Amino acid sequence: MKKILFVGAEAMPFAATGGLGDVLGSLPAALSKEGADVRVILPLYGQVKEEWRAKMKTEAVFTVRLAWRELYCGIKSLKKDGVIYYFVDNEYYFKRDTLYGSFDDGERFAYFSMAVMEAIEKLDFYPDVLHAHDWQAALSVVYLKCLYQSKAGYGDIRSVFTIHNIEYQGQYNFGILGDVFGLDVAQYELMDFGGCINLMKAAIVAADTVSTVSPRYAEEICTPAYGKGLDGILRENRYKLCGILNGIDYRYYNPAKDPAIPVNYSWRAREKKPENKLALQSALDLPMRRDVPLLAVITRLVAHKGVDIMTEILSKLTGESDIQLVVLGCGDERFEHYFTELARCFPDKVRVLLKYDRDLAKQIYAACDIFLMPSKSEPCGLAQMIASRYGAIPVVRETGGLYDSIKGYWEEGKRIHGNGFTFAGYSGAELYERTHAAIALWRNEAKRDRLMSKIMRTNFSWAAAARDYLAMYDQFNA
């Protein structure tokens, strides 16, 4: 049985701030179903709830050396959906108000990565594949290759590094190479990118295989427009780069059984979906109307999610059309300010909730008719898949995983093609035009119903992706 160790900074339901947490909370179970021995290791943040802590057992306690530091490390574990989750316990590093954003994030995740290396021996779990995710886990790949591969038991471990988002690379000043990361001049070239330490770049070079979360994004990041400076490095490593489209957790995101939404429904009983709209309208004190299309945005409010082109058009669109709009998310102050103003200008039409709340997000997916996701770049994107499963029509820009999962709607006699509305150029004008097209379709009941039924049945489960990952791991045997 293939032994895989996932290394990452978040996993649902223990601690998560975004899509990475969704993936680490559901892909391992899908791999385990396909017959792999998958374990996941992540930090034991202060945010992990007591209900999970009560189920954990202590596997090992030891000291981790990081440069001149001698640091406490406890490894706790629990089993969920056939997957063992390990938690790295060190309160000094992980009992903080937020998962990231501390001045010493570099040190925290260097410690985490070193702890992972030590845990392999202490747990006596030598995986066939160390599968590290995003910059926070990048150093585990580097430590494996540079410091551990020569040690007994580590020599056969292959490594995979998955890029969930190239926007966040982990860049640091070279002054801390030895003192914080515990590396030395021998690793200078590997760690260097343009005179700075770049953890993501180092992991791309050091890993045996690099993957990202959609085939389209794998191509895009090799170009200057999307590579965020790393496109040259990625082109050099093109031979070991692949893209596998994420799925979503079909048990957690299931409108037929979801306990977080007021009224359950399925594609067969889709006529019940509007009850969720009425419930949300009532909860948010919006006019309770079935006949008004409810548009939704659920995202971090940052430019690369397409928030800037939304701000170009939403006040015009809202002013001139009979629609409602609900926005959930927080982020850059200028965008928070824009949406707060929008809600103030249109008190009967717009509600803005500047927070991150998973249950509320599900209520919005269940309530909304049209889901806007005009990202400038989108490695995979999960929201468009969740929205689809909950019967909302996605309006997306053709990029990354959005391109791979949503195809433009068109009619051919009675037949319909596609599963959403899409546009290519990154412009407010195109977003405006496609959103209007989606609204027009929604107003035609027969067409709406046909498209909804198709959208809700599109398969976004993990099964296919899990098989692709296993094939990727198998290539190491070849």
First to last CA, the chain: 16
User: Which is nearer to ligand GLC, 23 or 64 (by Cβ)?
Assistant: 23
Site string for ligand GLC, 235-254 (x = CB under 6 A): -----------x--------
User: Which is nearer to ligand GLC, 371 or 432 (by Cβ)?
Assistant: 371
Selected binder of ligand GLC within 108, 164, 216, 376 (CB under 6 A):
164
Site string for ligand GLC, 416-455 (x = CB under 6 A): ----------------------------------------
CB of 165 to ligand GLC, least distance (A): 4
User: Which is nearer to ligand GLC, 306 or 381 (by Cβ)?
Assistant: 381
User: The tokens 């191509």 sit on which residue?
Assistant: 219
CB of 141 to ligand GLC, least distance (A): 17
Tell me the C-alpha to C-alpha distance, in Å, between residue 318 and each of 145, 269, 294, 321, 349: 54, 30, 11, 6, 8
CB of 175 to ligand GLC, least distance (A): 30
- Which of the stretches 17-25, 49-57, 171-179, 326-334 binds ligand GLC when contact is defined by CB under 6 A? 17-25
Site string for ligand GLC, 20-59 (x = CB under 6 A): x--x------------------------------------
Q: How many residues bind ligand GLC (CB under 6 A)?
A: 14
User: Which is nearer to ligand GLC, 11 or 294 (by Cβ)?
Assistant: 11
Residues 181-220 that bind ligand GLC (CB under 6 A): 213
The phi, psi pair for 81, rounded to 5°, reads 50, 40
Residue nearest to ligand GLC (CB): 19
CB of 18 to ligand GLC, least distance (A): 4
Q: Is 18 in the site for ligand GLC (CB under 6 A)?
A: yes
User: Which is nearer to ligand GLC, 74 or 331 (by Cβ)?
Assistant: 331
Q: Is 317 in the site for ligand GLC (CB under 6 A)?
A: no
The pairing of beta strand 209-212 with beta strand 158-163: parallel
User: Which is nearer to ligand GLC, 18 or 82 (by Cβ)?
Assistant: 18
The phi, psi pair for 459, rounded to 5°, reads -90, 110
Q: Is 255 in the site for ligand GLC (CB under 6 A)?
A: no
Q: Is 165 in the site for ligand GLC (CB under 6 A)?
A: yes
Residues 349-388 that bind ligand GLC (CB under 6 A): 378-382
User: Which is nearer to ligand GLC, 246 or 324 (by Cβ)?
Assistant: 246
Q: What gap in Å lies between CA 229 and CA 193, rounded to an integer?
A: 9
Interface positions with ligand GLC (CB under 6 A): 18-20, 23, 164-165, 213, 246, 378-382, 401
